[in-house]
C-alpha cells in the first residue's frame, strides 16, 4: 500500500500525536555533567571556548553538585587541574589531590548524586600525555600501575564510578584487579572504550590544561576512519571487566554507537565532547542557529543511535528546559 492511502503526514498533524508516536525521548535521567576542579576557594573561572562552563574550586564543586542534584541530573564526572605537574603525574593518585578532594566535597554536598571520575594522567603530567614516557613514546605497561593507583585513590575518596580515558591496552583489567584487591569490588568501570584521536577535544584541553607538550595522541587514541577496530576495543574492554562502554566523541561517531548497540547488551554511554558543545554555542552566539533547539536535536540523535546516557556540558540547561 502506498500513496494516496498511505499518508505519513497524518501522524504529524499535532503535537499530541507527535508525542504519542515519538520513538526516542531525552530526559534528565540521561545526563551526566562534566565538572572541572581547580585549586583555591571561591573560584569560578569561565572557560572562554565553552560558554556556560566554569572551572570550580572544591567549595564551588560542592555548591554545583547540590544544584545539579536539585535539577534532577543523576550524575557528574569530575576532572582535576592540579597546582603542580610532574613527569609521572603524581597528583593523579594523591590522597589529598584535587579530584580526591572534589569527590569528597561533592558526595558530602549531594549524597544521592552519582559522582564519577575521569581516570587519566594527562592533566597531571608536565608533558601532557596520558601515560608515562619512555623517550618520546608513551609506555603502555608501566602506565597501568599508575592508572590503577589513580582509580583506587578515587574510589577511596568516595567515587561511585571510575572512568578510564587514557586508551592504554589492558587498563580496564589492571584497574578492575586493583579495585577488587582494595575491596572496591562494587565500584563500576565506565570505559572510554572507543575513544578517537579527535580535533573536537580542543576546548577541553584549554579547560584542563592538558595539551601535550610535544606530538599528539594518535599513538594511543583511535584513528577516526576506523569502525571495526572500535568494536574490537569495546569487546576487549568488556572482556577485561568494563561495566559500561563509551564512545567518544558522539556525533561524528554515531555509526560506531549504533553498531555497538546492536552488538553489546551492556549499557552504552556517549560523550558529546567540548568541541561539539563549543561549535553549537559559537553558532548560536552569532545568531546562526537556534542554540537550545540544535542542542536538543544533537543529544536526542545520540540517544536514537543507541546511547543509554550522555556526558554533556549542556546538562544543566537541558535539564532546566525539559518538561
The binder of 273, among Zn ion, ligand PBG, none, by C-beta within 5 to 8 A per type, is ligand PBG
Name the helix (H) or strand (E) containing 132.
strand 132-134
Alpha helices (H) along 119-196: 140-157, 171-181
Q: Are 309 and 30 within 8 A, CB to CB? A: yes
Q: Is 140 in the site for ligand PBG (CB under 6 A)?
A: no
Site for ligand PBG in 223-262 (CB under 6 A): none
Q: Is 160 in the site for ligand PBG (CB under 6 A)?
A: no
Distance CA 323, CA 321 (A): 6
Of residues 110-139, which lie at the interface with ligand PBG (CB under 6 A)? 118, 120, 122, 130
* Residue 303 annotated to the active site: no
User: Does residue 46 sit in helix, strand or coil?
Assistant: strand
What gap in Å lies between CA 265 and CA 253, rounded to an integer?
Answer: 19
CB 187 within 8 A of CB 159: yes
What is the per-residue binding string for ligand PBG in 183-202, x denoting contact by CB under 6 A? ------------------x-
Terminal CA-to-CA distance of the chain, rounded, Å? 38
The catalytically annotated residue of 85, 248, 303, 316 is 248
| Residue 274 within binding range of ligand PBG, rule CB under 6 A | yes
How many residues contact ligand PBG, by CB under 6 A?
Answer: 12
Mutual angle of helices 291-305 and 274-285, in 10-degree steps? 150
In the bound state with Zn ion, the residue whose beta carbon lies nearer, of 162 and 281, is 162
Residue 173 binds which entry of Zn ion, ligand PBG, none, CB below 5-8 Å type-dependent? none
Residue 130 contacts Zn ion per CB under 5 A = yes
Tell me which DSSP letter residue 34 carries.
E
Q: What mask of x and - would describe binding to ligand PBG in positions 31 to 50, judged by CB under 6 A?
A: --------------------
Residues that bind ligand PBG (CB under 6 A): 118, 120, 122, 130, 165-166, 201, 204-205, 217, 273-274
Amino acid at each position: 500500500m502506498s500513496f494516496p492511502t498511505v499518508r505519513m503526514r497524518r501522524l504529524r498533524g499535532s503535537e499530541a500525536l507527535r508525542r504519542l508516536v515519538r520513538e526516542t525521548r531525552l530526559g534528565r535521567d540521561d545526563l551526566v555533567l562534566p565538572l572541572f576542579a581547580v585549586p583555591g576557594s571561591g573560584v569560578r573561572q569561565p572557560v572562554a571556548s565553552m560558554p556556560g562552563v566554569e572551572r570550580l574550586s572544591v567549595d564551588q564543586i560542592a555548591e554545583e553538585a547540590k544544584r545539579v542534584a536539585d535539577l534532577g541530573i543523576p550524575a557528574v564526572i569530575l576532572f582535576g587541574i592540579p597546582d603542580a605537574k610532574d613527569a609521572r603525574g603524581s597528583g593523579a593518585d594523591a590522597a589529598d589531590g584535587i579530584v580526591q578532594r572534589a569527590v569528597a566535597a561533592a558526595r558530602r554536598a549531594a549524597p544521592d548524586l552519582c559522582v564519577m571520575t575521569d581516570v587519566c594522567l594527562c592533566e597531571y603530567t608536565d608533558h601532557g600525555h596520558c601515560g608515562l614516557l619512555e623517550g618520546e613514546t608513551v609506555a603502555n605497561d608501566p602506565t597501568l600501575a599508575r592508572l590503577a593507583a589513580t582509580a583506587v585513590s578515587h574510589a577511596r575518596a568516595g567515587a561511585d564510578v571510575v572512568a578510564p580515558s587514557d586508551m592504554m591496552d589492558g587498563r580496564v583489567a589492571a584497574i578492575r584487579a586493583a579495585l577488587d584487591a582494595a575491596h572496591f569490588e562494587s565500584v563500576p568501570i565506565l570505559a572510554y572504550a572507543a575513544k578517537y584521536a579527535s580535533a573536537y577535544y580542543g576546548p577541553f584541553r584549554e579547560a584542563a590544561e592538558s595539551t601535550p607538550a610535544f606530538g599528539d595522541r594518535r599513538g594511543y587514541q583511535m584513528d577516526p576512519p576506523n569502525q571495526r577496530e572500535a568494536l574490537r576495543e569495546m569487546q576487549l574492554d568488556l572482556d577485561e571487566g568494563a561495566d559500561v562502554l563509551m564512545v567518544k566523541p558522539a556525533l561524528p561517531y554515531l555509526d560506531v554507537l549504533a553498531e555497538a548497540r546492536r552488538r553489546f547488551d551492556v549499557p552504552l554511554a556517549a560523550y558529546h565532547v567540548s568541541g561539539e558543545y563549543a561549535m553549537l554555542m559559537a553558532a548560536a552566539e552569532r545568531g546562526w542557529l537556534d542554540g537550545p533547539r540544535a542542542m536538543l536535536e544533537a543529544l536526542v540523535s545520540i540517544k536514537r543511535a543507541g546511547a543509554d546516557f550522555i556526558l554533556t556540558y549542556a546538562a544543566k540547561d537541558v535539564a532546566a528546559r525539559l518538561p
